[in-house]
Amino acid sequence: MKRFSTALAIMLTLLPVLVGCGGVRYPKYYTLNVPPPPDPPAEEGVRTSVAVREFQSPAYLRQGPIVYRATPEQIGFYEYHRWATDPRKFVTSAVIDHLRASGQYAMVATYNGNPDFDYIVSGKLEKLEELDYEAGVKVEVGLSAQITKVSTGTTVWSNAVSETGTVSQRSIPGVVAEMNKTMDLAINKLLSTVPTTLVSKK
């Protein structure tokens, strides 16, 4: 009888766990994936160096879940659909890749506090979200950045862009795919106005 009572107690203890296993929901993870631009060598004689600080963002974009807006004032989160990496790190790397691809700089690197650069790029990921309050489903990407000359501390360039894309496939993978395309457009548009006068040659 004692053995039966012990077995019954164990079964009752495990029952909630066994029942719950069927209802466990695991998050799915996504990443931004913008095709890298070509990386040609710098033009002959170029000696300008640029460091890029890690882009900043509003706190709600750093929490992990993909963001949506049901109204312009209401922010929601897909708790089970999350970014695999911090979007700020992705944007920083993508901006570095695009600046290198221009071939106008001898060195483009992530800023690590070393002052031995000619210019420093600082930026912000302003928006990266799904929009559900207009006709259809859309995504919006907003970026801003500025370039500071290290020797003088003056801002020599700044720009801010916002791009919107329409989601054709109404699913989370479809939303992420449109975010990728819209992010690529936004980065190209953001950097398209960087002046070539920053480049110095020997």
32 found inside a domain: no
111 found inside a domain: yes
137 found inside a domain: yes
Q: Give pLDDT, residue 40.
A: 66
Q: Give pLDDT, residue 44.
A: 67
**CATH number of the CATH domain containing 152:** 3.40.50.10610
Q: What is the pLDDT of residues 114-166, one digit of tens each?
A: 889 999 999 999 999 999 997 889 999 999 999 999 999 999 999 999 999 99
Per-residue pLDDT of the chain (202 residues; tens, 9 = 90+): 445 454 444 444 544 444 444 568 899 999 998 887 776 666 666 789 999 999 999 999 998 999 999 999 999 999 999 999 999 999 999 999 999 998 889 899 999 888 899 999 999 999 999 999 978 899 999 999 999 999 999 999 999 999 999 999 889 999 999 999 999 999 999 999 999 877 655 5
Q: Give pLDDT, residue 29.
A: 96
20 found inside a domain: no
Domain count of the fold of the chain: 1
15 found inside a domain: no
25 found inside a domain: no
16 found inside a domain: no
Residue percentage of the chain with pLDDT more than 70: 83
Find the domain containing 148 and state its range: 46-198
Q: Give pLDDT, residue 17.
A: 43
DSSP string across the chain: -HHHHHHHHHHHHHHHHHHHHTT----EEE---PPPPP-PPPPTTB--EEEEPPPB--GGGGSSEEEEEEETTEEEEEEEEEESS-HHHHHHHHHHHHHHHTT--SEEEE--S----SEEEEEEEEEEEEE-SSSS-EEEEEEEEEEEETTT--EEEEEEEEEEEE-SS-SHHHHHHHHHHHHHHHHHHHHTT--GGG--B-
Q: Give pLDDT, residue 118.
A: 95
51 found inside a domain: yes
Q: Give pLDDT, residue 199.
A: 66
Global pTM reads 0.82
